[in-house]
């Protein structure tokens, strides 16, 4: 186990102090981070970090009374969630249609139709091999898969125990672009992607 440094960042010299430091860490975390990890990085008591996290969550939720404010606060478009793995900032579920529209429309110019369809197959059928994706789409997808890997939207998960084929799945970056916290929150996009509504007719 690596030693915890005796001194951490000079929080008093930073604008916003501990609160802003915790928020900055949450903004760059690509996976849930615990209060213990944050406290270790900043070299402050865990209880202090916990208080900041609770206040940030209340602030993002617009719970003015919990913060001791007499007025009102508007909730943010994002929220701070605590799971068994730790804390992380997510897009608020109410804005899923907005985020999905941005991903589907705003990013469409950057991904070809073939890439979007391949990404959908991976998202809804992962872990899935390139051969399986090709069978579903009816075309060779080697180049498209490489593009999606390069863009950080999908990644190699494991190898199939029988065939040895590489199996692919989506990344946390994909979830962030979709504005969701887990694959269980994936929207029903099948009607908008040709052929995807037929996936369940194929047998593994």
- Crossing angle of helices 142-150 and 130-137, rounded to 10°: 120
Q: Residue 50 pLDDT > 50, yes or no?
A: yes
For 56-90, what is each residue's pLDDT tens digit? Answer: 999 999 888 888 888 888 888 889 998 888 999 88
Distance CA 92, CA 175 (A): 13
CATH number of 95-201: 1.10.10.10
Rg (C-alpha) for the chain, rounded Å, is 21
**Could you state, in order of their start, the residue ranges of all structural domains in the chain?**
11-91, 95-201
Higher pLDDT among residues 111 and 43, named by residue: 43
CATH of 11-91, one of 1.10.730.10, 3.40.50.740, 1.10.10.10, 3.40.50.1100: 1.10.10.10
Q: What is the pTM of this model?
A: 0.50
Average pLDDT over residues 160-168: 85
For 11-36, what is each residue's pLDDT tens digit? Answer: 777 778 899 999 999 988 878 899 99
Structure tokens at 40: 């270790």
Predicted pLDDT at 105: 58
Nearest to 73 by CA among 96, 48, 56, 91: 56
Q: Which phi and psi (to 5°) does residue 10 adopt?
A: -80, 90
197: helix, strand or coil: helix
Structure tokens at 105: 């429309």
- For 195, residues 6+ apart whose C-beta sits below 8 A from its C-beta are 117, 136, 137, 138
Beta strand residue intervals within the chain, DSSP E: 78-83, 86-91, 128-129, 154-159, 166-170
For 107-148, what is each residue's pLDDT tens digit? Answer: 544 678 888 889 989 998 899 998 889 888 888 888 899 889
11-91 shares its CATH topology with 95-201:
yes
């Amino acid at each position: 186990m690596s030693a915890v440094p005796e001194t951490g960042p000079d929080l008093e010299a930073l604008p916003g102090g501990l609160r802003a430091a915790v928020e900055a860490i949450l903004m760059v975390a690509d996976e849930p981070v615990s209060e213990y990890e944050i406290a270790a990085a900043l070299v402050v008591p865990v209880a202090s970090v916990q208080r900041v996290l609770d206040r940030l969550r209340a602030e993002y939720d617009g719970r003015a009374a919990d913060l001791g404010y007499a007025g009102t606060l508007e909730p943010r478009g994002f929220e701070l969630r605590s799971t068994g793995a730790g804390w992380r900032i997510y897009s608020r579920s109410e804005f899923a249609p907005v985020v999905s529209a941005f991903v589907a429309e705003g990013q469409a110019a950057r991904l070809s139709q073939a890439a979007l369809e391949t990404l959908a197959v991976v998202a809804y059928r992962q872990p899935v091999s390139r051969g399986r994706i090709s069978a579903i789409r009816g075309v060779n997808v080697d180049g498209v898969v490489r593009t999606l890997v390069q863009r950080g939207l999908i990644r190699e998960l494991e190898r199939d125990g029988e065939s040895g084929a590489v199996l692919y799945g989506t990344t946390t970056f994909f979830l962030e672009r979709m504005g969701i916290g887990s694959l269980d929150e994936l929207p029903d996009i099948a009607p908008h992607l040709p052929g995807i509504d037929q996936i369940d007719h194929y047998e593994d």
